[in-house]
């Protein structure tokens, strides 16, 4: 009896690793996984004249599972007619050459180039989705040389009308990178994207802050709601830690035990670039190219000590409750906040905005500001235009750590006081 092959699914494909080498979808179609993680479709068949042969259908996910199956169906139709799919491809070689440098093909070459592999995986994913959703359906099959500025502008405006803000500008930047790549390798003679004035054809970008609460009384209610949250223990700990450390949720998600120094009461987040000068892609990197030391208050230390027996044997602090091999998702904390009724009021990233506002509004008994705004910006690890030189100086010098630690301890105590205060 012939072996029954279970058809592939997108979920199964995404889980495949280089060690898997290949997986079959049945009827000659298989997915081959290269050492660098690239996955490409291969169709194995018997020639009408005898002998085995293979033909490539392209790279996944640029060629989807459904598209690969359609290509298999077409190839089997040719075989039923006594036509060798490989020979048919050779006979139409001129047509293939004329259409070889479609926008999709050039994008694919750029996307899998050495340069793109040096970028953060989250950035790559965003660019891939931008191309797939906002360019490929309209221009993907066109030869890149035949694409006009007006067609690019039409795609940009379509996105701009739908979303506004920065989305269309990021798409334009992606186009510029693709055309620069094509120009470098003589695929095009001119970068038409450089001739498009974004300020003329696109709406003025409007900066949107993440939803956040700045009213102390309302924020106190949120903190009390977090203490009562009934989610899984890992999520509860991450949610309680977020307002105390005021880092980007991305860094909480990728927090590693090796970065925690309980004796010094600090968490050191590594820089975006590693020792080899290449950007790290596994997450937990700082935007600035230097490490960021987060002073840990006694309240933050307690939370970490509470979860240590559960995940302390693993590299990362916050694993999913359902699997010791998977981190909490990027939306875990904000999803928890939404379930508590704070959908339009507070996001996980919004804790940084809340801290920024309340710390800068804190005053001493004589009415003077309690904290230098540069120290607040340094704690948040960003220079937002306020005393930028001073911020960078504080950010880069560990000798200012005591002042930052005092600020973070005050902040943790302030949050505890809010939860018991009668307004």
List domains and CATH numbers for the chain. 10-91 (3.30.160.390), 104-201 (1.10.150.130), 216-420 (1.10.443.10)
Residue range 397-423: average pLDDT? 86
Residue 261, classed as helix, strand or coil, is strand
Angstrom CA distances, 190 to 145, 156, 185, 195, 369, stand at 9, 19, 11, 10, 55
pTM above 0.75, yes or no: no
Residue 123, classed as helix, strand or coil, is helix
Neighbours of 40 (CB within 10 A): 17
Residue range 351-357: average pLDDT? 91
Q: How far apart are CA 288 and CA 391, in angstroms?
A: 12
Kindly report, residue by residue over 157-175, the tens digit of the pLDDT: 999 888 776 788 999 999 9
Residue range 208-220: average pLDDT? 83
For residue 343, what pLDDT is reported?
82
Over 80: is that where the pLDDT of 346 sits?
A: yes
DSSP 312-345: TTSSBS-EETTEEEEEPPTTHHHHHHHHTT-TTT
Residue 262: partners with Cβ closer than 8 Å, 6 or more residues away: 301, 304, 305
Over 90: is that where the pLDDT of 99 sits?
A: no
Tokens of 399: 């000798």
Angstrom CA distances, 162 to 137, 155, 165, stand at 16, 11, 10
Tokens of 175: 């186009």
Residue 226: partners with Cβ closer than 8 Å, 6 or more residues away: 239, 240, 243, 340
For residue 116, what pLDDT is reported?
63
For residue 205, what pLDDT is reported?
60
Structural contact between residues 285 and 271, judged by C-beta atoms closer than 8 angstroms:
yes
**Residue 384 vs residue 355, higher pLDDT:** 355
The residue written with tokens 């102390």 in the block is 216
pLDDT level of residue 279 (50, 70, 90 thresholds): very low
Over 50: is that where the pLDDT of 384 sits?
A: no
Residue 330: partners with Cβ closer than 8 Å, 6 or more residues away: 249, 250, 253
Give the whole-number percent of the chain exceeding pLDDT 90: 51
Kindly report, residue by residue over 2-53, the tens digit of the pLDDT: 566 789 999 999 999 989 899 999 999 999 998 888 899 999 999 999 899 9
The overall average pLDDT reported for the chain is 84
Structural contact between residues 319 and 234, judged by C-beta atoms closer than 8 angstroms:
yes
The residue written with tokens 């987040």 in the block is 269
């Amino acid at each position: 009896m012939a072996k029954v092959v279970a058809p592939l699914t997108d979920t199964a494909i995404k889980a495949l690793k280089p060690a898997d080498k290949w997986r079959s979808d049945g009827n000659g179609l298989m997915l081959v996984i290269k050492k660098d993680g690239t996955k490409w479709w291969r169709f194995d068949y018997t020639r009408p004249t005898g002998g085995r042969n293979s033909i490539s259908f392209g790279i996944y996910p640029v060629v989807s599972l459904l598209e690969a199956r359609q290509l298999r169906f077409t190839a089997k139709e040719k075989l039923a007619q006594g036509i060798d799919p490989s020979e048919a491809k050779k006979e139409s070689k001129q047509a293939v050459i004329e259409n070889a440098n479609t926008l999709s093909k050039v994008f694919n070459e750029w996307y899998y180039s050495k340069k793109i592999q040096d970028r953060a995986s989250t950035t790559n994913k965003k660019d891939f989705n931008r191309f797939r959703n906002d360019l490929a359906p309209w221009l993907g099959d066109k030869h890149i040389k035949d694409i006009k500025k007006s067609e690019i502008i039409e795609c940009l405006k379509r996105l701009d009308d739908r979303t506004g803000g920065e989305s269309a500008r990021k798409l334009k930047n992606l186009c510029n990178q693709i055309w620069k790549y094509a120009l470098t390798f003589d695929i095009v003679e001119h970068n038409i994207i450089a001739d498009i004035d974004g300020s003329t054809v696109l709406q003025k970008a409007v900066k949107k802050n993440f939803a956040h609460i700045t009213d102390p009384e309302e924020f106190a209610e949120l903190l009390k709601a977090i203490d009562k949250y009934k989610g899984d223990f890992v999520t509860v700990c991450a949610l309680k830690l977020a307002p105390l450390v005021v880092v980007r949720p991305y860094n909480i998600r990728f927090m590693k035990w090796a970065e925690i120094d309980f004796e010094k009461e600090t968490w050191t987040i590594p820089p975006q670039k590693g020792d080899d000068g290449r950007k790290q892609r596994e997450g937990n990197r700082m935007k600035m190219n230097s490490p960021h030391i987060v002073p840990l208050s006694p309240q933050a230390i307690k939370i970490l000590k509470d979860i240590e027996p559960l995940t302390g044997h693993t590299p990362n602090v916050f694993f999913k409750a359902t699997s010791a091999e998977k981190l909490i998702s990027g939306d875990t904390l904000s999803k928890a906040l939404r379930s508590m009724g704070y959908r339009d009021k507070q996001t996980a990233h919004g804790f940084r905005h809340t801290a920024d506002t309340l710390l800068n509004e804190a005053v001493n008994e004589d009415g003077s500001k309690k904290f230098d705004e540069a120290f607040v910006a340094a704690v948040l690890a960003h220079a937002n235009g306020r005393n930028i030189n001073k911020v960078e100086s504080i950010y880069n010098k560990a000798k200012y750590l005591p002042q930052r630690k005092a600020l973070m301890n005050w902040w943790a105590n302030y949050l505890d006081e809010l939860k018991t205060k009668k307004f």
